[in-house]
Amino acid sequence: MDLSLAIFYVFAVVLVFAAFRVITAKNPVHAVLYLVLSFFNSAVLWMLMKAEFLAVSLIVIYVGAVMVLFLFVVMMLDINFEALRKSFWKFLPVAGTVAGIMLVEMVLILTHRYAKIDAARIVEPSFNTASAEVLGKLIYTQYFLPFQLAAVLLLVGMVAAIALTLRKRKNTKYLNPGDQIKVKREDRVRIVKMQSEPRIVADDAAADDKPAA
Amino acid sequence: MEFLQNSLHLDPNIAFLIWTLLKIVLIVAPIMGAVAYLTLAERKVIGYMQIRIGPNRVGPFGLLQPIADGVKLLLKEIIAPSAADKKLFFMAPVMVLIPALAAWAVVPFYPGYVLADVNVGLLYVMAITSMGVYGVILAGWASNSKYAFLGGMRAAAQVISYELAMGFALVGVIMVSGSLNLTQIVAQQGAGIGGGSILSWNLIPLLPLFIVYFIAGVAETNRAPFDVTEGESEIVAGHMVEYSGMSFALFFLAEYANMILISAMASIMFLGGWLSPFPASWPVLGAASPLWWVLKVAFLLFCFLWFRATFPRYRYDQLMRLGWKIFIPVTLVWIIVVAAWMQTPWSIW
């Protein structure tokens, strides 16, 4: 058997298992970790398609940053998955119908003769050219406008998130870091010069037979 | 590899597998040795900086001390808290150590002497090292202890903040070298008007990025003065507080392996890797050699120890401010400066 085919099946099986466990795991932290595992496996599948730049960016962005924040949030929340699952059977018919419609729609679109899935493939990079270079050339020439629009969209999202969370509290004890750094020793401590004083010997010590110094 | 295929008549796939495994052993074994002796070097260097002698009882000059430490940790009992999530509790140290070692797959020691000479080497290192934080967070969560949890939370916030600055610093390197391949990044530093000497390295034109990268590297490895994750005076030992014996030792190994990795990456990207600091036209001294690379890594590792002996721990808000409000703007400005510079006739690249 071809080695890359064997690798594909191993990682695809783990991917499907991990994705299944994401929705069935009892503990939310375990569910997030299975999601990380499934991202990792899909990155390997992309690498098998010679899209090494995309594969590594998937890990850098999703596994390295987004999922860490996600894990951070999930750990802080006290979610009880059992309580959420109680009405599973009640919602199943509606959810199943929606899922079925979406599936049929996707199959219809992707198999339509105007979809031209084969034509949508980008040119496979040859052995020595970096796929990052191929991708960069496409993004900055052919897809320049959509790329910039996506960037603006992300910026809007970022500004919105900051605007939602930024608030000034009245009782905050905020100090200007610049002022803190500017502080010199003279601002805090005053050194006073004074004469040294002779030690006062206690009365009972003087009563001892030791000669007083 | 030809030997395995021709003399032993192995299948090419199996020969490739065995050859790769051999190379992995050849890379990992010296790293583990370096980690062991880095712990000794740390104790010695900090000892002398504090006018002490450091360990000197086990073996001549204390040279067997790391081995004694290792044996001690191996023989200790491994205890798991009864309320801990056992599986994750024992997985966490492994998840910290594996990325620290896996990143070495793409690190070149000399042109051609690399396990996998991939095109996206730099990004691969970024991706793999960014996964190390999972082990820390999980150790904090799975221990089911307040101190450990605080440590894990701090680690998550800190690593994400400093990874951004680190990534931006790398963008500058990628721009001037025009490649993500680590061997080519070093090769590019040997060219240019500096004639392959220290003047043609990325060190001088990208100095702000180098400083940001290295300090962010110190923060990424949770070393002093950025060791709020462990902060033994505030949260005991942070995420490691419930670990004992070998499971604790794995965290320790990972921390030192990460220090070596950060130093190796910094010397490849900014200090010209195996290139000599003298002009290439000089005899002997000007020749590229892995020895130069080892010297540069050793110097950067010494800086790690030096920082620890010199600076007090950052306060948490100061640490966040440094990452977000100072490092990220500095890198962004310098990337724009370099980008503009490259478009002018005075471009040195």
ipTM: 0.80
Q: pLDDT grade, residue B2 (50/70/90)? A: low
Among the listed residues A24, A70, A19, A69, the one whose alpha carbon sits nearest the alpha carbon of residue A41 = A19
Contacts of A34 in chain B (CB under 8 A): none
What is the token pair recorded at A134?
Answer: 């191929």
Q: pLDDT grade, residue A123 (50/70/90)? A: low
Q: pLDDT grade, residue B176 (50/70/90)? A: confident
Span B29-52, mean pLDDT? 90
Q: Tell me whether residues B137 and A56 touch, CB distance under 8 A.
A: no
- CA–CA distance, B141 with B95 (Å, rounded to integer): 14
Q: Which of A30, A59, A131 sits opposite B127 (nearest CB)?
A: A59
Among the listed residues B270, B271, B275, the one whose alpha carbon sits nearest the alpha carbon of residue B289 = B275
Span B125-134, mean pLDDT? 86
How confident is the model at residue B3, as a pLDDT? 63
Q: Tell me whether residues B130 and A65 touch, CB distance under 8 A.
A: yes
Residue A201 DSSP label: P
How confident is the model at residue A83, as a pLDDT? 74
Cα four-point dihedral sign B176, B177, B178, B181: negative
Least confident of A26-30, B15-19, B229-233: B229-233
Q: A22 pLDDT exceeds 90?
A: no
Q: CB distance from A57 to chain B under 8 Å?
A: yes
Quick: pLDDT tens for A162-203. Answer: 898 887 777 777 778 788 878 888 888 888 888 888 887 766
What is the token pair recorded at B55?
Answer: 């360990």
Find all residues with CB under 8 Å of B20, minimum gap 6, and list them.
B115
Among the listed residues B286, B340, B151, the one whose alpha carbon sits nearest the alpha carbon of residue B228 = B151
The residue in chain B having the minimum alpha-carbon distance to the alpha carbon of residue A3 is B13
Among the listed residues B215, B246, B228, the one whose alpha carbon sits nearest the alpha carbon of residue B75 = B246
How confident is the model at residue B211, as a pLDDT? 92
How confident is the model at residue B130, as a pLDDT? 84
For residue A129, CA distances in Å to A125, A140, B2, B118, B181 come to 6, 17, 27, 11, 11
CB B49 within 8 A of CB B39: no
Contacts of A68 in chain B (CB under 8 A): 130, 133-134, 137, 156, 159-160
**SS3 assignment for B297-317:** HHHHHHHHHHHHHHCCCCCHH
Q: Does domain A3-79+112-188 have CATH number 1.20.120.1200?
A: yes
Q: CB distance from B120 to chain A under 8 Å?
A: yes
Q: What percent of chain B has pLDDT over 90?
A: 13
**What is the least distance, in Å, from the CA of B127 to any CA of chain A?**
4
Q: Which of B119, B160, B321 sits opposite A52 (nearest CB)?
A: B119
Find all residues with CB under 8 Å of B206, minimum gap 6, and list them.
B172, B173, B176, B270, B334, B338
pTM for the full predicted model: 0.82
CB B74 within 8 A of CB B245: yes
Helix (H) / strand (E) containing A86: none
Q: CB distance from A162 to chain B under 8 Å?
A: no
How confident is the model at residue A73, as a pLDDT? 83
Is the bond into A198 cis (omega within 30 degrees of 0)?
no
The residue in chain B having the minimum alpha-carbon distance to the alpha carbon of residue A62 is B127
Q: CB distance from A139 to chain B under 8 Å?
A: no
Least confident of A24-38, B150-164, B181-195, B201-215: B181-195
Among the listed residues B254, B213, B279, B345, the one whose alpha carbon sits nearest the alpha carbon of residue B38 = B254
Percent of chain A that is helix, strand, coil (3-state, to 5):
70, 0, 30
Find all residues with CB under 8 Å of A8, minimum gap 6, and list them.
A45, A48
How confident is the model at residue A209, as a pLDDT? 55
Q: How far apart are the first and last CA of chain B?
A: 38
What burial letters (b/e) apply to A19-44, b meaning 16+ CB within 10 Å?
bebbeebeebbbbbbbbbbbbbbbbb
Least confident of A120-129, B53-62, B108-117, B176-185: A120-129
How confident is the model at residue B228, as a pLDDT? 77
How confident is the model at residue B291, as a pLDDT? 87
Q: What is the mean pLDDT of chain B?
A: 84
CB A22 within 8 A of CB A38: yes
Least confident of A42-56, A140-154, B221-235: B221-235
Q: B223 pLDDT exceeds 80?
A: yes
**What is the least distance, in Å, from the CA of A65 to any CA of chain B?**
7
How confident is the model at residue B126, as a pLDDT? 87
How confident is the model at residue A130, as a pLDDT? 63
Cα four-point dihedral sign B19, B25, B28, B30: negative
How confident is the model at residue A152, as a pLDDT? 95
Q: pLDDT grade, residue A155 (50/70/90)? A: very high
Q: Which of B13, B127, B180 sits opposite A64 (nearest CB)?
A: B127
The residue in chain A having the minimum alpha-carbon distance to the alpha carbon of residue B12 is A3
Least confident of A1-15, B36-50, B134-148, B271-285: B271-285
Contacts of B146 in chain A (CB under 8 A): none
Among the listed residues B47, B37, B157, B90, the one whose alpha carbon sits nearest the alpha carbon of residue A68 = B157
Q: What percent of chain A has pLDDT over 90?
A: 18
Q: Which of A3, A60, A68 sits opposite B127 (nearest CB)?
A: A60
The domains of chain A are located at 3-79+112-188
- CA–CA distance, B244 with B237 (Å, rounded to integer): 12
Higher pLDDT, B4 or B157: B157
The residue in chain A having the minimum alpha-carbon distance to the alpha carbon of residue B317 is A177
Q: CB distance from B134 to chain A under 8 Å?
A: yes
Least confident of A113-122, A192-201, B42-51, B71-80: A113-122
For residue A74, CA distances in Å to A99, B119, B137 come to 26, 36, 12
Q: B187 pLDDT exceeds 80?
A: yes
Higher pLDDT, A79 or A151: A151
Q: CB distance from A68 to chain B under 8 Å?
A: yes
Percent of chain B that is helix, strand, coil (3-state, to 5):
70, 0, 30
Span A4-30, mean pLDDT? 87
The residue in chain B having the minimum alpha-carbon distance to the alpha carbon of residue A1 is B13
Q: pLDDT grade, residue B251 (50/70/90)? A: confident
Higher pLDDT, B177 or B230: B177
Quick: pLDDT tens for A82-98. Answer: 777 777 788 889 999 99
Q: Which of B120, B127, B149 sits opposite A132 (nearest CB)?
A: B120
CB B226 within 8 A of CB B154: no
Q: A13 pLDDT exceeds 90?
A: yes
Q: Tell me whether residues A59 and B120 touch, CB distance under 8 A.
A: no
Q: Tell me whether residues A132 and B321 touch, CB distance under 8 A.
A: no
Q: Tell me whether residues A68 and B137 touch, CB distance under 8 A.
A: yes
In the numeric block, the tokens 């010297």 are attached to B295
Q: A205 pLDDT exceeds 60?
A: no
Helix (H) / strand (E) containing B154: helix B146-177
Quick: pLDDT tens for B307-344. Answer: 988 888 888 888 888 888 889 999 999 999 988 988 88
- Phi and psi at residue A34, in whole multiples of 5°? -65, -35
Higher pLDDT, B322 or A134: B322
How many residues are listed for chain A in this entry? 213
**SS3 assignment for A24-59:** HCCCHHHHHHHHHHHHHHHHHHHHHCCCHHHHHHHH
Q: Which 3 state secondary structure label does DSSP give B319?
A: helix
